[in-house]
Amino acid sequence: MFHPAENADSASWIESRLHPFGMDVGSFIPEGFAAYARVFHPPYRRTPDGTVIPVRWRDIAAANNRTIAGEMQLMNLSTHPSQYSASGEELWNQQIQTGNLPPEIAGRLAAILPSHTLTPELCWFAVWEGFGDLRIEDKKGAMFSVPHRELFLFHGKVADVLTTFSQFDWNYRSPTLWWPDDRAWCVVAEIDFTWSYVGGSSACIEQILGDPELEAVATNPQEGNFMDTKEWVKEM
């Protein structure tokens, strides 16, 4: 479970390694890591029996006779993949989660990231104070700032990322930022984006990019927050 931080000293390194707000990827995830990935949040489809399932970007692209790179390029305009196939079939009917790491992605990262830190038993979790459903008793806990954001700081094990910050147990509210005590990697779910960033070692990011359950592309702090697929989106 999360435990409120007594002070914000463990987060003091973050702001000094961020670029000016809104400029590029490095405005939201600290620079200084060997490699970076942008992990896409999926849209969802509610089936007739009420089950909600994630829809993969590669399947949406295939249904429109496009490559995954071509589908992602359209996100520059809409920030969402195509909702309908080339034949008119509805591919998804539940929006992508914005500013929140989907639980299935959090689960995959919780399985991958512990092997890329020497301190998996001590991880720091920060959550934006503006979410209306936060389960934070009397707003207890240390706070720190990044540009245009105020965050509560907690600590726990890496595996605790699967604990929701929401007061509603059925709603998974992810951390906004989380990192191990040795700062071997950092994950950011910026509140306005339909994707998340991960920075870490080359081996860490290579494993994320190659994971069959994740849809991710390489990035770096100097890239724009919207993609130029001609430059760096690889075929998945």
Task: Give me the percent of the chain exceeding a pLDDT of 70.
Answer: 89
14 located within any domain:
yes
For residue 31, is it within any domain?
yes
Count of structural domains, the chain:
1
75 inside domain: no
Rounded to whole angstroms, the Cα distance separating 195 from 49 reads 28
Nearest to 42 by CA among 5, 3, 72: 72
Owning domain of residue 193: 3-41+97-135+146-232
| 169: in domain | yes
**Band of residue 141 on the pLDDT scale cut at 50, 70, 90:** confident
pLDDT score recorded for residue 66: 81
Query: Which pLDDT belongs to residue 96?
Result: 84
pLDDT tens for residues 46-66?
988 988 888 888 888 888 888
pLDDT band at residue 226 under the 50/70/90 scheme = low
Q: What is the pLDDT of residue 138?
A: 60
Can you give the pLDDT at residue 236?
A: 37
Q: Where are the beta strands (DSSP E) in 55-185?
A: 123-128, 143-146, 149-156, 177-180
For residues 35 and 218, the answer to whether their CB atoms sit within 8 Å is yes
pTM: 0.87
pLDDT at residue 140 above 80?
no
Q: What pLDDT does residue 229 have? A: 37
Q: pLDDT of 159-178, one tens digit each?
A: 999 999 999 988 999 999 99
Q: What share of the chain in percent tops pLDDT 90?
A: 59
Residue 40 to residue 12: CA distance in whole angstroms: 28
Residue 126 lies in a domain: yes
- Is-contact 33 222, C-beta < 8 A? no
Q: How many CA atoms lie within 13 A of 107 on its CB side?
A: 5
DSSP state of 167: S
**What's the pLDDT at 78?**
54
In a domain, 162, yes or no: yes
* 53 occurs within a structural domain: no
Residue 119 included in any domain: yes
Q: CA-to-CA distance for 150 and 215, rounded, in angstroms? A: 29
